[in-house]
C-alpha cells in the first residue's frame, strides 16, 4: 500500500516537473525573443538642446533617448555651468526622466567657438585629470547621465584664432581615457566629430578612442558651411561625386578605421544654409554665391513657398533637398522630412547607434523632424 502511494506521488511529481520545465523553456524563449526584438529596434534619437527649462515641455520628450544640454564651458580648467538659468534648465531636464525611463540627460562641453581654451587645458596629464574630476563632481551634483565633448576640433583649425596643435590628437585620446576611468562605466561618454574629410583624416585617433566612448556623434552637416563661396548640399546622405562630402562617406571611413557600427551616430540638420547672388544655373546647385543666415525647420512651410518665389528640388542621388528662388537669386540647402526619413532608414540598414540632430528648438512641436525619425524607428 505504501509502495503504491509512493509510486503515485512520484508520478505526480514527475508530471509537475515536466510542466515546470515546459513553462521555464517557454519563458526563456520568450525572453530571448523579446531581447532580440528590442535589440533590433534599438536606434537612439539624440537631441542637442539650447533652450530653457520651459520650452522643453512643448516637445514630445517620449520620442527621445538623449537630450544633450548645450553648452557648458571650461572655467579654470574645470567643467562649468555658465549661469543660474542654465542650472535650472539642467535640473528640469533631469526631472523629465521620472516620466521617461528611456531618457538620458547629457552635458556637452564646447560647441563651435566654445572650446577656445581646450587645447591648452588638455595638454597635460594634470589638466586632463583636473577636468575629469570636475566632470564627475558636476555630473553627481546634477544627477546627469554623462558628458559629450564638442571640441571643434583637436589638431585642426576650427574657429579662426583658437589654438590647435598636433599634440591635440594624442591628448584627446588621453582625455577620453582619464574621463572613462574617473567616471566609471555607468556614465555615458560621447563626442561630436566633424564629418568632413580633413577632420576624419587628421583630428582623431579613431581606433584608439573607440573603446572609451559609448558613441561618436558625426556632425554630418555643415559639410558645405558658412565659409564656402559655392553652394552645395550641406547635409547629404550620399556623395554625388568622388570629391563631395557626405554622411555615408564619413560612416564608411569610420567603419574601415575600426569603429564599431553601434557606436556611430549620424547627424541631421534642422536648419538651412542659404546663399545669395546665385545665378539660375542648375537651379542654383554648385554655383558661386554669398552665404547668409538660414531658416529653422519650423519655419520652412511659411518661408520656402511658391508664393515667395521658391521652388523645391530633391536630389535623389544625394538624398538631399534644396530650394532655389530665381527672382531673388537665392539658394537654400538642408534636411527635410524626406531626407531625415532616408537617414533614419540608413541607420537601421547599417545597424548604427542612432541619429542625432542640431537642434531641438528648431523643430516643430508636433509632426516635425523628430516625429519622422521616430516613425522609422518604430515601424515594423
Q: Which residue numbers are catalytic?
A: 152
In sign, the C-alpha dihedral spanning 305, 313, 378, 69 is negative
d(C-alpha 148, C-alpha 229), whole Å = 31
Q: How many residues belong to the chain? A: 380
Query: What number of other Cβ atoms are within 10 A of residue 180's Cβ?
Result: 17
- 101 burial via Cβ count (<10 Å: 0-12, 13-18, 19+): exposed
| Helix pair angle (125-142, 84-95), 10° resolution | 60
Phi, psi for 89 (deg, rounded to 5): -60, -45
Residue 295 to residue 371: CA distance in whole angstroms: 19
Q: Which three cell numbers stand for residue 64?
A: 527621445
Distance of alpha carbon 297 from its chain centroid, rounded? 17
Query: What gap in Å lies between CA 116 and CA 134, rounded to an integer?
Result: 18
User: How far apart (Å, rounded) are the C-alpha atoms in residues 165 and 369?
Assistant: 38
Judge contact between 150 and 192, C-beta under 8 A.
yes
DSSP state letter for 281: S
Q: Rounded CA gap, 77 and 53, in Å? A: 27
DSSP, collapsed to helix, strand or coil, labels residue 179 as: helix
Nearest CA to 68 out of 190, 206, 222 is that of 190
Q: Packing angle between helix 337-350 and helix 369-378, nearest 10 degrees?
A: 30
Amino acid at each position: 500500500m505504501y509502495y503504491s502511494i509512493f509510486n503515485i506521488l512520484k508520478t505526480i511529481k514527475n508530471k509537475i516537473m515536466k510542466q515546470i520545465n515546459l513553462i521555464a523553456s517557454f519563458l526563456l524563449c520568450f525572453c530571448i525573443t523579446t531581447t532580440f526584438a528590442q535589440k533590433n529596434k534599438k536606434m537612439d534619437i539624440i537631441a542637442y538642446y539650447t533652450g530653457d527649462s520651459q520650452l522643453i515641455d512643448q516637445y514630445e520628450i517620449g520620442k527621445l533617448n538623449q537630450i544633450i544640454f548645450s553648452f557648458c564651458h571650461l572655467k579654470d580648467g574645470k567643467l562649468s555651468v555658465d549661469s543660474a538659468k542654465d542650472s535650472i534648465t539642467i535640473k528640469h531636464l533631469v526631472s523629465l526622466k521620472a516620466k521617461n525611463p528611456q531618457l538620458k540627460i547629457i552635458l556637452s562641453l564646447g560647441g563651435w567657438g566654445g572650446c577656445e581654451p581646450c587645447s591648452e587645458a588638455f595638454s597635460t596629464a594634470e589638466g586632463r585629470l583636473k577636468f575629469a574630476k570636475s566632470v564627475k563632481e558636476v555630473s553627481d551634483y546634477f544627477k546627469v547621465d554623462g558628458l559629450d565633448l564638442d571640441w571643434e576640433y583637436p589638431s585642426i583649425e576650427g574657429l579662426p584664432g583658437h589654438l590647435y596643435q598636433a599634440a591635440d590628437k594624442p591628448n584627446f585620446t588621453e582625455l577620453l581615457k582619464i574621463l572613462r576611468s574617473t567616471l566609471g562605466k555607468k556614465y555615458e561618454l560621447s563626442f561630436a566629430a566633424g564629418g568632413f574629410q580633413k577632420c576624419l583624416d587628421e583630428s582623431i585617433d579613431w581606433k584608439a578612442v573607440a573603446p572609451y566612448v559609448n558613441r561618436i556623434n558625426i556632425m554630418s552637416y555643415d559639410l558645405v558651411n558658412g565659409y564656402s563661396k559655392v553652394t552645395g548640399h550641406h547635409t547629404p546622405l550620399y556623395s554625388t561625386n568622388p570629391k563631395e562630402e557626405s554622411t555615408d562617406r564619413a560612416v564608411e571611413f569610420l567603419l574601415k578605421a575600426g569603429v564599431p557600427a553601434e557606436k556611430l551616430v549620424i547627424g541631421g540638420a534642422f536648419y538651412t544654409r542659404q546663399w545669395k547672388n546665385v545665378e539660375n544655373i542648375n537651379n542654383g546647385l554648385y554655383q558661386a554665391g554669398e552665404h547668409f543666415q538660414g531658416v529653422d525647420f519650423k519655419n520652412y512651410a511659411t518661408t520656402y513657398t511658391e508664393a515667395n518665389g521658391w521652388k523645391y528640388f530633391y536630389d535623389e542621388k544625394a538624398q538631399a533637398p534644396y530650394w532655389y528662388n530665381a527672382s531673388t537669386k537665392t539658394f537654400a540647402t538642408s534636411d527635410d522630412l524626406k531626407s531625415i526619413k532616408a537617414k533614419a532608414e540608413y541607420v537601421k540598414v547599417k545597424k548604427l547607434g542612432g541619429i542625432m540632430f542640431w537642434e531641438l528648438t528648431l523643430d516643430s512641436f508636433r509632426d516635425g523632424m523628430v516625429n519622422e525619425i521616430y516613425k522609422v524607428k518604430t515601424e515594423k
